[in-house]
Amino acid sequence: MADPSPETGLLDGYRPVDAFDEAFDADGSARHGYRHIVERFSGLDAAELKRLQRLVNEEFRRQGITFTVYSEEEGTERIWPMDLFPRLIAAAEWDELARGLSQRIEALNLFLADVYVGGGEALSDGVVPRWLVVSSGGFERNAMGIRMPHGTHCCIAGIDVVRGADGRYRVLEDNLRNPSGISYVVENRAAMAKVCNWLFYDHPVEPANHYGQMLRSTLESMAPAAADAPQVVVLTPGIFNSAYFEHAFLARSMGVELVEGRDLVVDGHRVYARTIEGLVEVNVIYRRIDDDFLDPVSFRADSTLGVPGLLGALRAGTVTVCNALGNGVADDKAVYPYVPDLIRYYLGVEPIIDNVATYRMWDLDHRRQALSRLDELVVKPVGASGGYGVLIGPHATADELEEAKAKIEAEPREWIVQELVALSTLPSFAEERLEPRHLDLRPFVLTGAQTQVFPGGLTRVAMRRGSLIVNSSQGGGSKDTWVLKPELAAVGHAEGELR
């Protein structure tokens, strides 16, 4: 049964661009679970949608769900716009995605344990070049020999996945250090449920409010063996950090203390928090500050954010810091092309989710191939994040391409080049109508004694027409992400609505 394309209202004239549209087929009919959503949005007018959008913004502003923009003096606390048209993921599709993500994190944890405590077997066997690992900015010599409970170096991961024109998910980037955004996943859902509760009728959706419990039990399972009732804390740089809202959210939803470096002290290789009763021992630290700032004794001496002597306590095994030190070596974009091989090497299976096709600039053949058609490809610096320094070939000028070529030739280790992925699109509100906008997805994977994937994740959307950059720092927005419960998928299948 094909759904007729809506002919009136906000979706009138909606035409998918040259990409996979999540909501509409190429012939313009609504896909699988989207039928009801499309119907309901077709029944709205622009004024009503603007009103709802304003309600959501007010809700965010009142609750202070904001991020900080460092470059602006006035009004440095900004809300991150959420588009009301949700992203739906069918149960079976999610199931496969979650299995693929778990598999990837399992392999990456094995790799990290191998590099830091296992003697580097994968490097000896030539799966990843040793020089590439030790030259990585994320490789941390101080982490050598620090054993993590369950061999879990990455407890909290955010994996960026995208969907290309063929409709298949691919991993674009691993974030294994301090992935942020989970608070928006939870708050987006809460805001949607308040403002657009009518959208949820007929859509059994996996809940998105239990992240706190999941994270807490994950972190508790990471406590050193000697700790009976482990004391877990979240370590934040403080209220002026751009993600402070998220840090407070995490502490609140777990019911643990949100500490700053100045609240902690190390004595006799044990970490204590300063309370009104005196010093209380801390067993697990979910740190949201970077490696460099963790301990001024071992890292940056000018940092006042960290805890002097923390590294000694880590080595003594009295405290666990999550994520572990030195995870940056595994989410280095130069190591990324080897992850599928690492999955094969450690797990002996084929990867469920592929990488985006990537050229390694330190490999002469790859470099030659890529440089010959750079205008069709995407150039990325291996050390940057947040979309900074990315050059999209088809959108670049001849000068920019020449400059990129020169930089690559000068420092091949610092660059990768990828095939351009036409990110999938979804209807998103633009001025007066719904138009296709590109998006990606960051699911969150928690690993303690076992690996769990939080249902859904953060859908980031580029708000400008044709833009492929979805980062919040570059003017992107977000969407609520619904993982549909299996019942609906089964019912939909019976009606022949699934693809």
Partner 1 sequence: MILARHADALLWAGRYLERAENTARCLTYAADSIIQLRSDEARFDGEKLVRTLGLESELAEAGSLESSPQLVAFLLSDRDNAGSLVSSVVALRENLRSVRDRIPIELWEEANGLYLRFPFLGHAQAESRGLHEVLLMVRRACLAMSGVLNEGMRRDEGHAFVVIGRMLERATFTVALLRSDLPGAGNGADAVRMLRLTSSLQAYHRQRRRDPDPFDVMQYLMHAPDLPRSVLSCVGRAEECLKGLGSVGPALTRSRRRAGVLRVRLELGETVEGMEAEPAQTLDALAAEFDDLALEVQSGLVPPLEMTAVRSQYVRPGAAGVAAGVWPVGTRDRPR
Contact 260/293 with Cβ under 8 angstroms?
A: no
The residue among 198 and 240 lying less far from partner 1, judged by its C-beta, is 240
| Number of Cβ within a 10 Å radius of residue 122 | 22
The residue among 38 and 251 lying less far from partner 1, judged by its C-beta, is 251
The residue among 218 and 298 lying less far from partner 1, judged by its C-beta, is 298
Interface segment toward partner 1; rule CB under 8 A; list 176-184, 277-285, 408-416, 476-484:
277-285
373 binds partner 1, rule: CB under 8 A: no
Interface residue with partner 1 among 83, 93, 260, 497 (CB under 8 A) is 260
The residue among 261 and 436 lying less far from partner 1, judged by its C-beta, is 261
Total residues binding partner 1 (CB under 8 A): 41
Q: Going by C-beta distance under 8 Å and a sequence separation of 6 or more, which residues neighbour residue 366? A: 359, 360, 417
Give the span between the Cα atoms of 219 and 225, in whole angstroms: 13
- Written as six digits, the tokens of 314 are 């880590």
- x-marked contacts with partner 1 along 57-96 as a string, rule CB under 8 A: ----xxxx---------xx---------------------
Interface segment toward partner 1; rule CB under 8 A; list 87-95, 145-153, 273-281, 410-418:
273-281
Interface residue with partner 1 among 258, 324, 374, 453 (CB under 8 A) is 258
User: 447-470 b/e with 16+ CB inside 10 Å = b?
Assistant: bbeebbbbbbbbbbbbbeeebbbb
Contact 116/144 with Cβ under 8 angstroms?
A: yes
Give the span between the Cα atoms of 284 and 286, in whole angstroms: 7
The residue among 210 and 274 lying less far from partner 1, judged by its C-beta, is 274
Interface segment toward partner 1; rule CB under 8 A; list 46-54, 55-63, 328-336, 437-445:
55-63
Interface residue with partner 1 among 1, 225, 226, 276 (CB under 8 A) is 276
Strand partners, 157: 445
The residue among 234 and 289 lying less far from partner 1, judged by its C-beta, is 234
| Number of Cβ within a 10 Å radius of residue 445 | 25
Interface residue with partner 1 among 2, 17, 134, 239 (CB under 8 A) is 239
What is the sign, positive or negative, of the torsion defined by CA atoms of 216, 217, 218, 220?
Answer: positive
| Number of Cβ within a 10 Å radius of residue 401 | 17
Map the footprint of partner 1 across residues 290-329, applying CB under 8 A. 296-297, 301-304, 308-309
DSSP state of 449: S
227 binds partner 1, rule: CB under 8 A: no
Give the span between the Cα atoms of 160 and 353, in whole angstroms: 12
- x-marked contacts with partner 1 along 180-219 as a string, rule CB under 8 A: ----------------------------------------
Strands 284-287 and 232-235: parallel
φ and ψ of 302, to 5 deg: -85, 0
Sequence letter at residue 66: T
Sequence letter at residue 418: Q
User: Smallest distance from the beta carbon of 307 to partner 1, in angstroms?
Assistant: 9
- x-marked contacts with partner 1 along 102-131 as a string, rule CB under 8 A: ------------------------------
φ and ψ of 194, to 5 deg: -75, -45
251 binds partner 1, rule: CB under 8 A: yes
Provide the 3-class DSSP secondary structure of residue 427.
strand
Interface segment toward partner 1; rule CB under 8 A; list 30-38, 272-280, 346-354, 374-382:
272-280
Contact 413/382 with Cβ under 8 angstroms?
A: yes
Contact set with partner 1 (CB under 8 A): 61-64, 74-75, 234, 238-239, 244, 247-249, 251-252, 257-263, 265-267, 273-280, 296-297, 301-304, 308-309
